[in-house]
Structure 1
């Protein structure tokens, strides 16, 4: 059996179990619809329901559906309009076609007829409200969704294969982006180099690239791309991924222009963060509480701050008194998969509930113990963010900070280094999907 058919069999078992536990007879999943800007005929980029692309490698197929029934092949209702204004989806092809019961429709409303025999008061329908049709209205049962979301945290071998491919697609973009930075390109020019190298367009990136030069690297989700390069390109932060068959990669690197004199202090800081990031990757082990990795990050950031002479306090005191937070204000990472910030990160159990974040750490996106097959990001950072530094200057701990050094380093914005890491079973060292892809590209 192929990896994809194994994957489909796993999803079928999980869905049948969830249907039985929640008292439903069948599960219908809408891919979603194309949405339009207010008072305009210009559509937004289509984003498929992640539950739909969990079953099928189809990411540009609005108005399609999948039906899951115990003991039967999934039924796929495939929307293929006879359209001359836009390019319609191609005829169904690929390994998935032989694994399903296929129905091709030409009009969106025909889906209701193709699924009418499965619609009862005990049918679960997953999708956004606007994807509904007469007699086919999403009800999104909470317990059913919880069961599916919990299970989705652990990736099948097929999914891991897609995610490795997404790494291999992204890495040439990072290599090209670094080269563009070193030759003095603008943020917009670096972004274009990334797109060419990955074969992506802005339409199909898994998220909007973060391309920040100099001080812009201090904006965590910097959303613009200047067309003009700075007079002195000192540092470069790129947070950019790729996707393959609906599965995402999410990679961040920070570079310094080492060919120009005067940047040794920041380069040393980048090297120190690289060391700590690799140590944090090694903490990704089965059974480890991800919250503990986040708290470990603050201890490691404290060590970097102390060793660099930026803060004259013990590591323990820095963490206890919150001094690391202005320099590292976000979480250590998140689940990754069909979504860049994949669902289920805060669940206390497969039935729901919330596993709380550590007190005072509201931006952490994952609070579950790690399981074999989970893929998480490990992305420590150290930034010089003006608004947070102003608050630190007003605190009692300000006297322990070398503000002259902070001022010098603020010109570089900050540092973030992010790898995508798969947790393995039995205490085995994790698989660093990102570093493996870089090594294969070298």
Structure 2
């Protein structure tokens, strides 16, 4: 066990103790979960552990495990390690004296012991996904919001151990991105680019924090494009790749966009958006309102679109007409951690106060005040999406659009540039750019 991990466990113990006492709950039982097969099948999706469990015991090799948290006591880990020659049994975690570990070969025996222990507790809550067969578990509450709000609010502040995991996840993702870029300029298809990413990052598809978005040309205008064509289009114009890495369950989330040919309007847009993103990140500071940061990015996008000749008139008029919302329809970013879209992005207090996004930016996942310890994405975009542009053609603001220029860019799909940012006590750390620089040197 590393010192960082030991300190991380101590911090988690403090957070859970505070949350339990604040809510009047005596103990929490966290279920890791178990893999479930597809309907009428013996195969199923890759297992991912309950994120609340994974924060204590990183990784996914923990099916059926349970963790009992009681203030002032060492957490009790009920760990399932089956006798099995069909699959590799889970390795018992090496966690020193930070857990009271009980290992069971039989799930039923594990469950009986959990029931017996929980019955001795006056008021216990369960956090996780319960099987219908577990309805008789002697607990007072299942996933109570007042407890989850406490935990989700504090999870935004990453521990040094979590930051270390995310830096390593970023290094993994960056190795894949560099290979993907090389494959793109070498004439690879979406599928081949994806394979190059996997090989260079040393991940298989089940390792990925989310399904890779590998989008050539107009496919980049589908925000979460989910396919990978095996053949190349007649003319390759652009690549948008949104892909990350995982380390001990913690994620990176990185997007880059490339123009096939330099000197084109699309290539210039990529450069300008990249610079605007970096300028925005350079100005981030503790105490800023993330909604205001999102709005500042829209002002930058408006300026880019006007200066490039895609929109007509002043950028103030463009903003007043809401035109940037057509070209930049998603939020600027989200919290990142043990989940790609980490929880608590709209919580303003530990007691569950929520700040919803503004009506004109409904997709914004993060509305909190920027604070020390947060890790979030900054991912502006400029897209040419037919579904969004068609209504604009019939709108009163259509005269502010240079339609011939926009139509020429439709086959390129769009641009997104995404970095992962850590807010430290002494400034902002761009995890993504730092990893790209290190990889370039290596």
Equivalence map 1:9-408=2 (5 Å): 9-90=10-91, 92-94=92-94, 96-115=95-114, 116-119=116-119, 120-130=121-131, 133=134, 134-135=136-137, 139-258=142-261, 264-408=264-408
> CA separation in 1, counterparts of 2:247 and 2:46?
17
1:51 offset after TM fit, Å? 0.1
> CA separation in 1, counterparts of 2:138 and 2:429?
42
CA contact (8 A) 1:126 1:139 kept: yes
1:258 offset after TM fit, Å? 2.9
SS at match of 2:390: helix
> CA separation in 2, counterparts of 1:52 and 1:109?
20
Distance change in 2, residues 1:8/1:391 (3 Å):
same
CA contact (8 A) 1:205 1:241 kept: yes
Distance change in 2, residues 1:132/1:321 (3 Å):
farther
* C-alpha distance after superposition, 1:46-66 (max 9, x if no partner): 121000011112313210111
SS at match of 1:239: strand
TM-score of the two chains, using structure 2 as the length reference: 0.95
1:132 offset after TM fit, Å? 6.6
TM-score of the two chains, using structure 1 as the length reference: 0.95
> CA separation in 1, counterparts of 2:55 and 2:21?
20
1:125 offset after TM fit, Å? 1.2
SS at match of 1:212: strand
> CA separation in 1, counterparts of 2:190 and 2:104?
44
SS at match of 1:221: coil
| Aligned position for 2:432 | 434
CA contact (8 A) 1:33 1:131 kept: no
> CA separation in 1, counterparts of 2:133 and 2:204?
30
1:222 offset after TM fit, Å? 0.2
1:158 offset after TM fit, Å? 0.9
Indicate the larger mover: 181-190 or 101-110.
101-110
> CA separation in 2, counterparts of 1:169 and 1:414?
25
> CA separation in 2, counterparts of 1:420 and 1:327?
22
> CA separation in 2, counterparts of 1:128 and 1:248?
22
Distance change in 2, residues 1:215/1:340 (3 Å):
same
> CA separation in 2, counterparts of 1:20 and 1:93?
28
CA contact (8 A) 1:282 1:429 kept: no
Indicate the larger mover: 171-180 or 72-81.
72-81
SS at match of 1:411: helix
1:164 offset after TM fit, Å? 0.6
> CA separation in 2, counterparts of 1:93 and 1:19?
25
SS at match of 1:335: coil
1:338 offset after TM fit, Å? 0.6
> CA separation in 2, counterparts of 1:228 and 1:297?
36
Q: Which runs of no fewer than 5 residues in structure 2 stay unpaired?
A: none
1:136 offset after TM fit, Å? 5.2
1:121 offset after TM fit, Å? 4.1
1:78 offset after TM fit, Å? 1.2
SS at match of 2:427: coil
Distance change in 2, residues 1:132/1:16 (3 Å):
farther
1:191 offset after TM fit, Å? 0.4
Distance change in 2, residues 1:219/1:339 (3 Å):
same
Distance change in 2, residues 1:58/1:77 (3 Å):
farther
Q: Which runs of no fewer than 5 residues in structure 1 stay unpaired?
A: none
SS at match of 1:326: helix
1:35 offset after TM fit, Å? 1.0
